[in-house]
Amino acid sequence: MHSFINHIINFVKMKHSIKITLLLVGMFIVSQFLGLWIINHYIDRSSGTPIYRELPYGLQPPPVNENYGFVFIIVGVLIGTGAVLLLIKFRKIGLWKVWFFLSALVTMGVAFSAFVNQWISIVLSAILAFFKVFRPNFIVHNVTELVIYGGLAAIFVPILNVFAVVMLLIIISIYDAYAVWQSKHMVKMARFQAESKIFAGFLIPKGKVELTKLVKKVKAVQSTRNPSVALLGGGDVAFPLLFSGVVLKTVGFVPELFVIPLCTAVALLALLYYGEQGKFYPAMPFLSTGTFIGYGIFLLLI
């Protein structure tokens, strides 16, 4: 009886409703599976040894040793974070929109080129990126987010091996905890993205919420126990996908591979279930734990 009462209390206090929670977790799973499908398109195994196919538009993965690829990405994250903080300080929302538009254009271009001609892909990507940035709505925003991370992972998976991607998740998890719980600059960045009406990650309204009112709703997260939007940051989607993508590159597109994103999704579900309303949490420590557990199970299955 006592455990049943505790279960009801946790249900009432959980970060989001069951519907919102399952929707966030569902979109996370779709993004992981779709991302793996995109990544697999760029890996040629016809010779027996995996060879990475050429990316569209003359893009090339950075010329980095796979053992140290995580250093390149960590430095990139720090530089990108510093740039965003400068945009926040000087209120350069226009520059942020241009930056986000170009990032969305390139990553969606790579993703769609896995399935269609690269020039059809770039036109489609340009249209979607325009609406995503300059005519935003929740449907376009989340649909494009499902695709973006597969394109992003396709660019960076070639510079990582299993050792490097494990190191990447460990370091990013520590950084995420520091950025949310100590420096709190990750919260500041989320608010800035909301003010610009552009958020890197999944964003679901709780009820009928207009995107133009998003800044007030996201700021309310800090002052109310019942925020009006549910957020999942883009890094929380991208980094687990990078891990699964590296494993895919190493062993191939085997059915057992799906246990990794599924275990990560369970970790996300647990975080959303036990997280309290109105609080920001660093998701990466939890997601990385789920990813590593999934990888352990994967090794037992193959």
- Give the model confidence (pLDDT) of 14-42 as tens digits: 567 888 999 999 999 999 999 999 999 99
Determine, yes or no, domain membership for 2: no
**Is residue 7 a part of any domain in this protein?**
no
**Residue 7 vs residue 68, higher pLDDT:** 68
**The pLDDT value given to residue 51:** 86
Q: Would you say residue 181 lies in a domain?
A: yes
Determine the average pLDDT of the residues in 209-217: 45
For residue 46, what pLDDT band results from cuts at 50, 70 and 90?
A: confident
Res 281: pLDDT? 85
Residues 263 and 160: their CA atoms lie apart, in Å, by 21
How does DSSP classify residue 182?
I
Q: Alpha-carbon distance 251 to 249, whole Å?
A: 6
* Structural contact between residues 239 and 152, judged by C-beta atoms closer than 8 angstroms: no
Taking alpha carbons only, the member of 16, 70, 17 closest to residue 277 is 16
Q: What is the predicted pLDDT for the residue at 3?
A: 43
3-class SS at 80?
helix
Residue 271 forms part of a structural domain: yes
Segment 76-89, tens digit of pLDDT: 999 999 999 998 88
- When pLDDT is averaged across residues 254-282 and rounded to a whole number, the result is 91
**Residue 194: predicted pLDDT:** 67
Q: Provide, rounded to the nearest whole percent, the portion of the chain with pLDDT above 70.
A: 87
Confidence of residue 166 (pLDDT cuts 50, 70, 90): very high
More confident residue, 106 or 222: 106
Answer whether 114's CB lies under 8 Å from 42's CB. Answer: yes
Count CA atoms within 13 Å of residue 12 on its CB side. Answer: 6
Residues near 41 by Cβ (< 8 Å), separated by ≥ 6? 53, 114, 115, 154
Q: Is pLDDT at 2 greater than 70 in this prediction?
A: no
Select the more confidently predicted residue: 50 or 278: 50
**Total number of domains in the chain:** 1
- What's the pLDDT at 14? 58
Band of pLDDT at residue 206, cut at 50, 70 and 90: confident
Task: Please name the residue that has the structure tokens 């994250």.
Answer: 77
Domain span at 131: 14-45+52-301
| Confidence (pLDDT) at 15 | 66
Asked if 160 and 246 count as a contact pair (C-beta separation under 8 A), the reply is yes
In a domain, 8, yes or no: no
User: For position 4, what pLDDT does the model report?
Assistant: 31
Structural domain includes residue 173: yes
Both tokens assigned to 155: 């660019």
By residue count, the chain amounts to 302
Does residue 162 fall inside a structural domain? yes
Tell me whether residue 265 is in a domain: yes
Q: Which of 164-173, 188-197, 266-275 has the highest mean pLDDT?
A: 164-173
CB 165, CB 70: distance < 8 Å:
yes
144 close to 128: Cβ distance less than 8 angstroms: yes
B/e letters for 182-211, b = 16+ CB within 10 Å, e = fewer, are eeebbbebbbbbbbbbbbbbbbbbeeebeb
Residue 241 · residue 160 · CB < 8 Å = no
Per-residue confidence at 156, pLDDT binned at 50, 70, 90?
A: very high
Whole-prediction pTM value?
Answer: 0.88
- Please report the pLDDT score of residue 184 as a whole number: 87
